[in-house]
Structure 1
Amino acid sequence: MQGRYTQRWRDPAKDPRAEAKTNLITPEGYQKLRSTRDFLWRVRHPELAAKVQEAAANGDRSENADYTYNKRELNRTLSRISYLDKRLDELQVVDRLPADPEKVYFGAWITLEDEEGAESRWQLVGPDEADASKGWISIDAPRARLLLGQPLDAEVVLPTPEGKAQFIITEISYLRR
């Protein structure tokens, strides 16, 4: 569409502007998504369905805030379950070491040292399990893409909030979390 209106895409996977997510995931990440999906289906869904039914029994639904809220939450939960079902089918669990464990690939824990000698440690994980507070960065992140295939002791220039900085890869390991 032209002008000030933009096209909204209900399904992000069909949005031509969206970048495709990598379908790789660690065994731990897959298990966490699976247990989240199971919790939503076995616990949250029946709980919300009962609340909706109870609120509907109270009469006029158009002015019933409990009904409206719980129905919205039930729909969000069902939508999340549907998304997780689809995503879990697409994912490929990486549970083996790469052919060359001396280089950075998916699942690697990498220790980087900056020019001042400060160290930081990151693991390259799938986009569904990325969490910077735990040191897990998505394999799709610009920083991760620059690290892929790099050997031990390689000097790399990576983006930082302050600009670009030079780092040395001081350790590569493929240990479980």
Structure 2
Amino acid sequence: MRKGFTRRPKFEEPAANHAKNYITPGGLQRLKDERLFLLNKDRPAVVEVVAWAAGNGDRSENADYQYGKRRLRQIDGRIRFLTKRIEAAEVVDPQAPRTGLRATRAFFGATVRYANAAGEERVVSIVGTDEVNLDLNHISWASPLGRTFMRAAEGDEVVLHAPGGTETLTVLEVRYEHIAVEPFREPQGLELSPKLDR
């Protein structure tokens, strides 16, 4: 019997597959916009190219056809991924009113100003895994830094355990405000339609 048939099933899968997809309203809109672009523009254009290339003869040596089919599989995979992320989305609005500890401690959607041991200050916003943008200082709630700040309040000292070592950080401020997520933009320069008048 082949080894593939003798393995025991894996009961433990990565937590990300079963966890809710915490996301801001702007992050969810970005995912929806990308999926809409893929479904309504990108995929139909590639299907048109594949159909045109299929009519050009031997498919085994037809680069347009082979590339188009590969691109179509990539698009379909991305659409499936986005659909699953959207269905699992748990929208958390950082601007929603908060009371008690949720107003003063860092949770998903918080913007945290902190200082390291050298006194250098930095500000980060804690967002979903689909919204990470280091250029805008948006970090994932599941990242080492994001997890370090969870439940921390102004004045708390927290210890960051990162692959490069440990570091003590001081939380200077926790606030909840609008987090601007960069919107989805259609890729420029994609000319996928074949020249049918050749």
TM-score normalised according to structure 2 size: 0.77
Do the aligned partners of residues 158 and 169 (structure 1) sit closer, same or farther apart at CA in structure 2, a change above 3 Å counting?
A: same
Residue aligning to 2:83: 85
Contact kept? 2:109, 2:176, Cα under 8 Å: yes
Secondary structure in structure 2 of the residue aligned to 1:101: helix
Distance (whole Å) between structure 2 residues aligned to residue 18 and residue 158 of structure 1: 23
Question: Contact 2:144–2:162 at 8 Å: present in 1 too?
Answer: no
Q: Give the one of 66, 82, 87 matched to 1:68.
A: 66
**Unmatched tracts of structure 1, length 5 or more:** 8-13
Cα distance in 2 for partners of 1:141, 1:161 equals 11
Larger C-alpha radius of gyration, 1 or 2?
Answer: 2
Is 2:43 the partner of 1:45? yes
Aligned-residue identity in percent: 36
State the one-letter code of the partner of 2:61: E
The answer (yes or no) to whether the contact 2:20–2:88 under 8 Å persists in 1 is: no
Q: Deviations over 1:123-163 (max 9, x none)?
A: 11111112223211111122212211111111111134641
Structure 1 residues 98, 24: CA separation in 2 closer, same or farther (over 3 Å shift)? farther
User: How much has 1:164 moved relative to structure 2?
Assistant: 1.1
Aligned to 1:11: none
Q: CA RMSD in A?
A: 2.0
Partners of 1:64 and 1:47 in 2: how far apart?
18
Q: Aligned equivalents of 2:50 and 2:114: distance in 1? A: 51
CA distance in 2, matches of 1:154, 1:22: 28
Aligned match of 1:16:
12
Cα distance 1:71–1:64, how it changes in 2: closer, same or farther (>3 A)?
same
- Cα deviation, 1:14-70, whole Å, max 9, x if unaligned, reads 883423244210001001111011111111011101110111111110111110001
Instruction: Give 5+ residue unaligned stretches, structure 2.
Output: 180-198
SS in 2 for 1:123: strand
- Distance in 2, matches of 1:26 and 1:18, equals 23
More displaced stretch, 92-101 vs 27-36: 92-101
Cα distance in 2, alignment partners of residues 120 and 161 from structure 1? 20
